[in-house]
Amino acid sequence: MRLMFINGSPRGTKSNTDRLMEHFIRGFLETEGNACRTEYLVKYRQNLQTLTEKFSAAENVIIGFPLYIDAMPGSVKEFLEVLAPFEGKINLPALGFVIQCGFPETSHTRFAARYCEKFSRRIGCRFLGAILKGGCEGLDIQPNFLTDKYFSLFNMIGVSFGKTGKFDEELLTKLARPEHLSAQNMAQIIPYINQALWDARMEKNGVLDRSFDRPFTS
């Protein structure tokens, strides 16, 4: 099976999308004869046409992106727009998505995923499904037992996709946990994230005392 992975993160090679998908791809390549190519959307911004040609020639495509305000980043939407001429063409690739986000609950990504499924139908690509995961900002500061779990599930989803051409529903459900958080979970997690992910970095930059600045108050 041949796969083209389009990494739609504006952070390119230094993205959470990449760190997670690295494990998927390694799993995918375990099946003999499989091949995968990664393309970084940020490198094509001035030349989206080239990427659309690669898209239309591919057998399977997975587009990965971070959730930006409950949807795809504007730069990913630019790419979806230039795919319009392929609408209804024959021999389009099968199309899957990876959507990961910063908030800890995976439920945030489900709405953009519905759009992605409809997009696949609109353009006429067989829909492979969507790999969804919340809690992906600050992978570096999260405890290893958590990130190891994400990485190993991405790997297993890749292995199984490499063998069957499908995303394993059971693994997707496991990866998506927590789908929602209880009030109690939130009360535990939020102060930790605020401190470790944000305050620590603002402090390092010397702006912690200015964090609530309102430059546009009239």
Give residues in contact with another protein (CB under 8 A).
Answer: 9-11, 15, 45, 66, 68-75, 77-78, 80-81, 83-84, 103-105, 107-108, 111-112, 114-115, 118-119, 122-123, 180-181, 183, 186-187, 189-190, 193-194, 197-198, 201-202, 205, 207, 210-218
End-to-end Cα distance, the chain: 58
- Helix (H) / strand (E) element for 128: namely strand 127-133
Q: Which does 57 bind (CB under 5 to 8 A by kind): ligand FMN, another protein, none?
A: none
Q: Residue 81: which of another protein, ligand FMN, none does it interact with, CB under 5 to 8 A by kind? A: another protein
DSSP for residue 199:
I
Residue 9 sits in the site that holds ligand FMN (CB under 6 A)? yes
Measured between alpha carbons, how far is 198 from 140 in angstroms, rounded to an integer? 13
Can you tell me which of 31, 80, 103, 163 binds ligand FMN, judged by CB under 6 A?
103
What is the full DSSP assignment across 52-97? Answer: HHHHHH-SEEEEEEE-BTTB--HHHHHHHHHTGGGTT-SSPPEEEE
Is 23 one of the binding residues for ligand FMN (CB under 6 A)?
Answer: no
